[in-house]
Chain A
């Protein structure tokens, strides 16, 4: 298991990468490559590419790919939230799939270009709660309440869990656990506790959480 990420060190490296410091990419791979390798291996398993799992050189190449994705997107990451590899999960998945030539969906080039332009206009995020919160008052309200009722670490865990859920992960708790150094049971406990507190705070049952808010707080 990878060591628990040091949030201060990780933030420092992300800030340096955001400023275009290429040396920080080498440091990121040195210090967090084991965690990135976990992300890479989970994708390879999910795609049935166990042949690549046994190829150390290939896994290492994909770890570097994931690090370069974080380098490119570092400026948009905010400390205190989900770890970068959780926050950029969709972008990493896309880059890995491209590297190994994994067919994910039938590609409609025109549709893809339109989506890329929309993402670019929105700041280049794949799935970003900041962006969602700006567009959907329900998400903004949920996050505001979550901020009131939970610690920074718990918020990061809950948001990472919800992102994984939204990305269709079959086991969000396991993924978030691997990426935060917590146990899956601990992750589920944090999410349940936070949801319970959010429900209590907004008085669910009184019908005050609807739509997106209800989904997030369910």
Chain B
């Protein structure tokens, strides 16, 4: 279900659509992998934390995470921790985004 307030008061949006809209902007800015970058941003956005905290939590290099979020890294080269979170997000349809969840 999308576009509704959940019992916890949060808004349940169509994450895939928001990814597409952010990807259009990233593409316009010249990102090489705009959709992949939008997925990385969605995963961190769902966690609700800044890049450094998220990288610390997952044991990642914040600079490398930054490269993913700027569209410099394709999804298949994302660390498993991010790929798995993306795949586990029920409101994120990787197939609709043209991202291969099992490279």
**A interface residues (Cβ-Cβ under 8 A, vs B):** 2-3, 16, 21-27, 29-34, 36-37, 56-57, 59-61, 63-64, 68
Contact = CB atoms under 8 A, between A and B. Distances in A.
Contacts of B21: 64, 68
Nearest to A72: B25
A40 B65 CA distance: 34
A170 B26 CA distance: 39
**Across the A-B interface, the 9 shortest Cβ-Cβ residue pairs:** A33-B11, A26-B45, A60-B3, A23-B45, A56-B3, A23-B44, A22-B41, A23-B41, A34-B5
A56 B18 CA distance: 15
A23 B14 contact: no
Interface residues of B, number: 28
Contacts of B38: 22
Contact of B22 (A22, A56, A61): A22
B57 to A, nearest CB: 13
B13 A64 contact: yes
B32 interface: no
B51 to A, nearest CB: 7
Contacts of A64: 13-14, 17-18, 21
A186 B13 CA distance: 31
B11 A30 contact: yes
A2 B10 CA distance: 9
Interface in B48-89: 48, 50-51, 69
